[in-house]
Amino acid sequence: MNEIRFGVLGTGGIGRRTLEHATAETDLTPVAACDRNGVAVNREGLDVEELLAATEGNIASGPDDGVTDGGTAVKQSGEHRGVAASRQGEQTETPIDDIIAVSETLDAVLFALPNLEHDFIPRVADRFAGAGYEGVLVDVLKRSRVISMLEERSTAFEESGITFVCGAGATPGFLTGAAAIAAQSFVEVEQVEIWWGVGLKSGYEDNRGTVREDIAHLEEYDIEAARELSEAEIEEIVDEHDGVIEFTDMEHATTCCWSGRASVTRRT
């Protein structure tokens, strides 16, 4: 297999695990990574161990903390925040643009960013296409509205030489696997009901931006309200729900299998 040189946008839980996994694969070479405060680029390959060690720990991502680029959670170590704390990193106010500037060296780019605005990921993809990028863009999320926005861009992506992979994260992957097992195990699948529980306490330290996005799906909140929550308010919500938020009919969950709800039954 040929070497795949890739970049990661976002160094929260998924971005960090991706970088970590790459160290065990001989054909995957991470050459760029960024968060909202910093960017690290090494065309020969990043020192992943140093980068992850330097960015260990989490800081606030509340309304007064200058959150940009979709509400990305940021790491902090010592004097600097996030990727900028690494000896490989540099502080920047334009992290995504800085990755796009070196995109000719990338075969693939992983979007590991919370998607508080539904058009955020498509707009980032537009920026890669506009810069002449040719390669693979991988989004960990899968949302019905985002899918339609990407379909509207399919011609532009094809002309640019971009392959867009949508729904590569844990939720779509897990549900697709469950759907395959159900299809093979039952004579007929009449309906599917998905109850989704988000364990906030266990993943909070690594995924504060994602937790903010989860809270936005609660009936009493929306995207803007969730964005304005302070860290103390988020922790209070986590405690009120005993660390778990349950959802039904979440669009990025239900679209991963079939569009139905209710139960899976076996017919004999």
Whether residue 104 is found in the same domain as residue 134: yes
Written as six digits, the tokens of 80 are: 């600097």
Cβ–Cβ under 8 Å, residues 90 and 120? no
Residue 239: what pLDDT?
81
Written as six digits, the tokens of 50 are: 């140093």
d(CA 56, CA 165): 28
Which residue of the set 75, 80, 142, 252 is catalytic?
A: 142
Q: Is residue 125 part of a domain?
A: yes
Helix (H, G, I), strand (E, B) or coil at 221: coil
Whether residue 83 is found in the same domain as residue 112: yes
Residue 56: what pLDDT?
74
Whether residue 157 is found in the same domain as residue 185: no
Whether residue 11 is found in the same domain as residue 133: yes
Whether residue 32 is found in the same domain as residue 129: yes
Q: Render each residue's pLDDT in the chain as its tens digit; 268 residues.
A: 588 999 999 888 788 889 999 999 889 999 999 988 899 999 999 999 999 988 876 443 444 444 334 444 444 545 677 899 899 999 999 999 999 999 999 999 999 887 667 788 899 999 999 999 999 999 877 666 777 888 899 999 999 999 998 776 655 555 666 667 777 777 676 766 666 555 555 455 555 656 777 787 788 888 788 878 887 888 788 788 777 777 665 554 443 333 333 333 433 3
d(CA 147, CA 29): 28
CATH number at residue 101: 3.40.50.720
Is 142 noted as a catalytic residue in this protein?
A: yes
d(CA 138, CA 121): 10
d(CA 22, CA 45): 11
Whether residue 160 is found in the same domain as residue 181: no
Residue 67: what pLDDT?
39
The number of distinct structural domains making up the chain is 2
Whether residue 163 is found in the same domain as residue 181: no
Owning domain of residue 96: 4-168
Residue 143: what pLDDT?
66
Whether residue 158 is found in the same domain as residue 130: yes
Domain end point (choices 168, 189, 214): 168
Cβ–Cβ under 8 Å, residues 122 and 149? yes
Q: Is residue 200 part of a domain?
A: yes
Domain end point (choices 168, 203, 225): 168
Whether residue 220 is found in the same domain as residue 89: no
d(CA 41, CA 66): 23
Whether residue 160 is found in the same domain as residue 180: no
Whether residue 119 is found in the same domain as residue 189: no
Is 25 noted as a catalytic residue in this protein?
A: no
Domain end point (choices 151, 168, 185): 168
Q: Is residue 268 part of a domain?
A: no
d(CA 209, CA 206): 9
* Alpha helices in 117-230, H assignment, sequence order: 120-130, 144-152, 154-160, 170-185, 200-203, 208-215, 223-227
Q: Is residue 187 part of a domain?
A: yes
Residue 225: what pLDDT?
85
Which residue of the set 75, 80, 213, 252 is catalytic?
A: 213
Residue 206: what pLDDT?
52
d(CA 82, CA 69): 14
Is 201 noted as a catalytic residue in this protein?
A: no
Whether residue 145 is found in the same domain as residue 220: no
Q: Is residue 263 part of a domain?
A: no
Which residue of the set 50, 217, 233, 235 is catalytic?
A: 217
Residue 61: what pLDDT?
45
Which letter, b or e, does each residue of 210-237 get, where b requires 16 or more Cβ atoms within 10 Å of its Cβ?
bbbbbbbbeeebebeebbebebeebeeb
